[in-house]
Amino acid sequence: MTKNNKQEFDLLVKDILENEHFLETKKDLHHGSSKYEHCLRVARMSYRLAKFFKADVKSATKAGLLHDFFLGTRKEKPENSYLRHPLTAASNAKKYFDVTPLEEEAIKTHMFHQVLLKKLFPFINREEKASIKEFKPKSKEGWIICASDLLVSIIECERFQFTYAANVALILIFNIIMFKN
């Protein structure tokens, strides 16, 4: 990231990173590091992809940072589950921050990569319903959050690298075909 981009990024994330409720995510483990670190990595990736795809950089960065803003593990509460936590994160984001409908939607659809994976391998998390219609991102920024979460997860979860890599390739190709002008 260039110095100017870093300054712009830091300014975009500052308020959220310093918020007492968001700081609670430092206590939660996620893919081997804290949820706070994971969200920050996704925000950085979203910022970069938003610049590349000429998307709304502010919204993509904010939605990237808030995409997993729920407390506790996915197994602790039903609302934190594999496919329900995006709704919880969106509701928390709205509760504590000034979140636009575009950002809210992008947070809600960030697990689309896992919905695709579940369609390919239905035995994954059988008990949860994965609806393409519900989870398919509805904006360029939504696709960016989804791709960023997946890219960061590949780096964080070495054991799933192959399936994740195939998935991210599909999503990025879709992004390029649909939105690059």
CB-based contact 130:114 (threshold 8 Å): yes
Q: Does 68 bind Fe ion (CB under 5 A)?
A: yes
* DSSP result, 52-72: HTT--HHHHHHHHHHTT---S
Nearest approach, Cβ of residue 137 and Fe ion (Å): 13
Identity of the residue, 40 or 55, whose beta carbon is nearer to Fe ion in the bound complex: 40
Identity of the residue, 56 or 68, whose beta carbon is nearer to Fe ion in the bound complex: 68
Site for Fe ion in 139-178 (CB under 5 A): 149
Nearest approach, Cβ of residue 35 and Fe ion (Å): 8
Nearest approach, Cβ of residue 15 and Fe ion (Å): 20
Structure tokens at 144: 């960016």
Tell me the angle at which helices 57-66 and 85-96 cross, rounded to the nearest 10 degrees: 120
Q: Does 56 bind Fe ion (CB under 5 A)?
A: no
The CA distance from 3 to 82, in Å, is 37
Could you list the residues that contact Fe ion (CB under 5 A)? 68, 149
